[in-house]
Amino acid sequence: MQFVLIPLDNRPITYLFPQIVCRVAGVAALVPPRELMGSLTAPSRPGGLAEWLSETLKVRSPDKLLVCLDSLVYGGLINSRRGEESEGEILNRIKEIPVWKKISIRPISVLAQSSIMRIADNYDNTEEKKYWARYGREIYQWSELLHKNTAGIKLPAGALALAESRIEPPVREDYLKTRRRNFKANMKLLEYVRSGEIDFLVFSQDDCGEFGLNILEREKLTNSALTNGVARKVMSYAGSDETLLTLIARALIDSAQKRPTVLIQYSSQYGSRIQSRYEGQTIGDSVENQTHAAGMLTVNDGTTPHDLLLLVHTADHQQGDHVQLTGHPDLRQVTSAESLRNTLDTLEKSEKPVILCDVAYSNGSDPALIAELLKRGHLLQKICSYAGWNTTGNAIGSAISLGVARWYATNFGGNPASDRAFQEAMFIRFADDWAYQTQVRPQLNGQAVADSKLAELMKPFLTDIGAASGWQVPAVRVSLPWQRSFEVEVCIPS
């Protein structure tokens, strides 16, 4: 079986890890050359990607097309916010979608992602237009008030006018123009769902609050999907970087023609109700959205027969954050002792493969959990998937995808390479989410370092992972692919 993948950009988690997950499942991944994909400083090449996709559909025989439309339409997720293309240019690129099924050698399913433009509550313009460094939080607050006003929520007298006055008119106009362009593109995509050119569509949302123009747009899109009778084929929820992985999980389940039943358990009695950072919702909401998007059947009663256990490891009462942002509370150390005991006890007792979603913290693993797992190597053998990076949705969605891939390979004809790929995938997640994000990244103080220095810093932690797990992984190369400290690339030579 073959899947065509069009990733979100060229980062390891969006470009490389989906290919590994496909190998775990025993599926061939057809992926465009990395140089066509967008980076932090340069957009993808939509024309080159469209040409590559057209040729691949004509000469290969893929079963599924899983496409992050941001790359083909805007030049990538980041460029969807920064790009200066006109509304007409963007809509013209979208018009290529109906061609895909016509030129494919065999009938294919098209599963797609498109982002709803985010609103980050900070002054970091690394992934935004330049004016975000001056007006980022002001735009966030203004957007929040605009949504509340539209929703009929009573605002303090003059609050909206005051918020608007803090942002220069040209900045407000440019910001709204970009939002309108992207929203019209998303509305057009709903027409293609209705006509059958797109079989399943996710409107992804990263960095969400409870209110904002992005939330208002999501409401309009979901209402339009409902009105047009395609609500079962369209989802919108918090998450973005993991969306291609979620589409892989859904495609595998579709191909199996059998939905895995998953038992959901939380390590804390409050776990499902803990607020999820950067998402404007609870951790329980994120779990529900991610399992639904993947196409799983979920149960909450251990007496019900199930194929997998989805174990959500949270802190005891509040989600922490390994990154301290200016103007936000310091959550780099939160209490998780009771939750940790419950997680370890659940792993000991589980007779089913465990998908371990580590969301005690955002932006990295719970160090206390990993320390215990590395002491108890037998527990690692019960885990069929792990993730603990970035947001709750990122971690849960990627953990589900790897777990589904392992389930698919076990039940529907994996190959000898599947086991090898699984070991690589697990090693990479522990190396990235724990060794780098929680152990090494804090030492960098936000600065990129040379590959040699990075390798030196990570070596003892990678050694610990290998010793505890027994995963046979050869020499590992590490780098900072975007020359910033946010993400690491852990490369295992083939």
pLDDT tens digits along 289-319: 999 999 999 998 888 999 999 999 999 999 9
Average pLDDT for residues 12-30, to the nearest whole number?
97
Question: Which of 195, 226, 252 is the last residue in one of the domains?
Answer: 252
Residue 209: the pLDDT is 82
Which tens digits make up the pLDDT trace of 238-259? 999 999 999 999 999 999 999 9
Which tens digits make up the pLDDT trace of 50-79? 999 999 999 999 999 999 999 999 999 999
pLDDT at 119 over 90: yes
Cα 362 to Cα 199, 276, 295, 390, 475, distances in angstroms: 32, 8, 25, 5, 29
Residue 473 belongs to some domain of the structure: no
Distance CA 86, CA 130 (A): 18
Residue count (the chain):
494
- 309 forms bridges with which residues in the sheet? 263, 354
Confidence category of residue 470, pLDDT binned at 50, 70, 90: confident
Q: Residue 35, exposed/middle/buried by CB under 10 A (0-12, 13-18, 19+)?
A: exposed
Task: Kindly state whether residues 197 and 93 are assigned to the same domain.
Answer: yes
Sign of the dihedral defined by the CA atoms of residues 163, 168, 171, 172, in that order:
positive
Task: Kindly state whether residues 266 and 231 are assigned to the same domain.
Answer: no
pTM, two decimals, is 0.96
Average pLDDT, the chain: 96
Task: Kindly state whether residues 232 and 360 are assigned to the same domain.
Answer: no
Residue 423: the pLDDT is 94
Average pLDDT for residues 372-378, to the nearest whole number?
95
Task: Kindly state whether residues 359 and 422 are assigned to the same domain.
Answer: yes
Residue 474 belongs to some domain of the structure: no
Residue 437 belongs to some domain of the structure: yes
Query: Dihedral through CA 104, CA 106, CA 109, CA 110, nearest 10?
Result: -10
Residue 207: the pLDDT is 80
Residue 454 belongs to some domain of the structure: no
Total domains in the chain come to: 2
Neighbours of 227 (CB within 10 A): 10
Which tens digits make up the pLDDT trace of 82-95? 999 999 999 999 99
Task: Kindly state whether residues 153 and 285 are assigned to the same domain.
Answer: no
Task: At 109, give phi and psi (nearest 5°).
Answer: -95, 140
Residue 48 belongs to some domain of the structure: yes
Question: Which of 204, 231, 252 is the last residue in one of the domains?
Answer: 252
pLDDT at 335 over 90: yes
Residue 228: the pLDDT is 95
Confidence category of residue 112, pLDDT binned at 50, 70, 90: very high
- 262 forms bridges with which residues in the sheet? 298, 308
Task: Kindly state whether residues 45 and 116 are assigned to the same domain.
Answer: yes
Cα 150 to Cα 138, 143, 144, 290, distances in angstroms: 18, 11, 10, 29
H or E stretch at 487: none
Which tens digits make up the pLDDT trace of 22-51? 999 999 999 999 999 999 999 999 999 999
Task: Kindly state whether residues 386 and 334 are assigned to the same domain.
Answer: yes
pLDDT at 414 over 90: no
Confidence category of residue 417, pLDDT binned at 50, 70, 90: confident
Question: Which of 420, 447, 474 is the last residue in one of the domains?
Answer: 447
- The percent of residues above 90 in pLDDT, for the chain, comes to 94
Task: Kindly state whether residues 230 and 345 are assigned to the same domain.
Answer: no
- 204 forms bridges with which residues in the sheet? 115, 237
Neighbours of 197 (CB within 10 A): 17
- The percent of residues above 70 in pLDDT, for the chain, comes to 100
Q: Which amino acid is at 195?
A: S
Q: How far is C-alpha 280 from the chain's CA centre?
A: 16
Task: Kindly state whether residues 66 and 150 are assigned to the same domain.
Answer: yes
Residue 465 belongs to some domain of the structure: no
Reduced to 3 states (helix: H, G, I; strand: E, B; else coil), residue 265 is strand
Confidence category of residue 283, pLDDT binned at 50, 70, 90: very high
- 238 forms bridges with which residues in the sheet? 205
Reduced to 3 states (helix: H, G, I; strand: E, B; else coil), residue 281 is strand
Task: Kindly state whether residues 234 and 279 are assigned to the same domain.
Answer: no
H helix runs in 132-238, sequence order:
132-150, 159-165, 169-195, 213-227
Neighbours of 303 (CB within 10 A): 7
The structure tokens listed for 426 are: 């697990």
Residue 180: the pLDDT is 97
Domain residues for the domain of 227 are: 2-252
Residue 50 belongs to some domain of the structure: yes
CB 274 within 8 A of CB 361: no
Q: Which residue has the tokens 């589409």?
A: 247
Task: Kindly state whether residues 223 and 336 are assigned to the same domain.
Answer: no
Residue 125 belongs to some domain of the structure: yes
Task: Kindly state whether residues 19 and 90 are assigned to the same domain.
Answer: yes
